Amino acid sequence: MRQPLIMGNWKLNGTKASVEALINGLKAPAAAAANVEVAVCPSVIFLGQVEQLTAGSAIKFGSQDADLHTAGAFTGENSPVMLKEFGCKYALVGHSERRTLHAETDAVVAAKYVAIQAAGLIPVLCIGETLEQFEANETNAVVEAQLKAVIDVAGIESFANAVVAYEPVWAIGTGKTATPEIAQTVHAHIRAYLAGFNAAVAAKVQVLYGGSMNAANAAELLAQTDIDGGLIGGASLKVEDFSTIIAAAAK
């Protein structure tokens, strides 16, 4: 049985005041959903604050990215070792906004994934196709290639200590959610592809859905057999919406 994981990706949003209000507002809903793991991914600048605010609560947290180096002359980067020191449990890697806006290749994503695990963090490997690829029926090939790039470098066994997030690029921030049927089909394909390498690892790995998940559509998406949780952008910034999604995962 895979534990539901509801993770907020705050992206480039927040103030000290909004972070405090959000974390404090999520404490009770996270505690009430005992079978669900709740996590948030703030900008790194808020990590110290989030570490303090979440102390003693059920809320876990992670970063939105990590550098593939642990230390050195890499101006502007954040080392996975530093993220671990600040209490991160997770680090997103390969988010489509990183792949597109920061030209992160599959090779860079794989190297970051390895560095994240080496630092003792759990990578949340984000994969997904663009609208063009979706319309050309290339979804399966795209997610397979994105997974294979990591499997080749890190090995299939590494997925025993990783999370996969399927985020169709055309659904991110667009209000266009994949239907539960489309999402379930892709999630099942991801699991079957991983099972081709190692069935036991594939059965255990949590595969999250991301892309315009919200308070209204979460229950139906989360009810699908191979959808083990959500990676939520916009709707994770409001206590009420995110709490509704957490409660939906608890059912």
Ligand X SMILES: O=C(CO)COP(=O)(O)O
Examine residue 58 and tell whether it contacts ligand X (CB under 6 A).
no
Examine residue 234 and tell whether it contacts ligand X (CB under 6 A).
yes
List the one residue from 111, 213, 221, 248 that touches ligand X (CB under 6 A): 213
Tokens, residue 5: 């994981």
List the one residue from 4, 29, 123, 211 that touches ligand X (CB under 6 A): 211
The whole-angstrom separation of Cα 9 and Cα 24 is 17
Cα dihedral 86, 2, 7, 182 sign: positive
Tokens, residue 9: 């990706």
The whole-angstrom separation of Cα 239 and Cα 205 is 28
Closest CB 11 distance from ligand X, rounded Å? 7
- Taken as a whole, the chain contains a residue count of 251
Which residue, 43 or 70, is less far from ligand X as judged by CB?
43
Q: For the segment 147-206, give every residue that binds ligand X (CB under 6 A).
A: 167, 172-173
Report the SS3 class of residue 69: coil
Examine residue 42 and tell whether it contacts ligand X (CB under 6 A).
no
Closest CB 112 distance from ligand X, rounded Å? 16
Scanning 54-62, 81-89, 207-215, 242-250 for contacts with ligand X by CB under 6 A, the matching segment is 207-215
Residue 102 sits at φ, ψ, to 5 deg, of -120, 15
The whole-angstrom separation of Cα 187 and Cα 207 is 7
Buried b (16+ CB within 10 A) or exposed e, 19-45: bbebbeebbebbeebeebbbbbbbbbe
Closest CB 41 distance from ligand X, rounded Å? 8
Closest CB 247 distance from ligand X, rounded Å? 17
Buried b (16+ CB within 10 A) or exposed e, 191-230: bebbeeebeebbeebbbbbbbbbbbebbeebbebebbbbb
Examine residue 117 and tell whether it contacts ligand X (CB under 6 A).
no
Closest CB 17 distance from ligand X, rounded Å? 21
List the one residue from 4, 5, 6, 9 that touches ligand X (CB under 6 A): 9
Examine residue 231 and tell whether it contacts ligand X (CB under 6 A).
yes
Catalytically annotated residues: 95, 167
Examine residue 39 and tell whether it contacts ligand X (CB under 6 A).
no
Q: How many residues bind ligand X (CB under 6 A)?
A: 14
**Which residue is closest to ligand X by CB?**
233
Examine residue 210 and tell whether it contacts ligand X (CB under 6 A).
yes
Binding-site residues for substrate = 9-11, 173, 212, 233-234
DSSP H helices in the chain: 16-32, 47-54, 80-85, 96-101, 106-118, 131-135, 139-154, 180-195, 199-204, 218-222, 239-250
Chain residues that interact with ligand X, rule: CB under 6 A: 9, 95, 167, 172-173, 210-213, 231-235
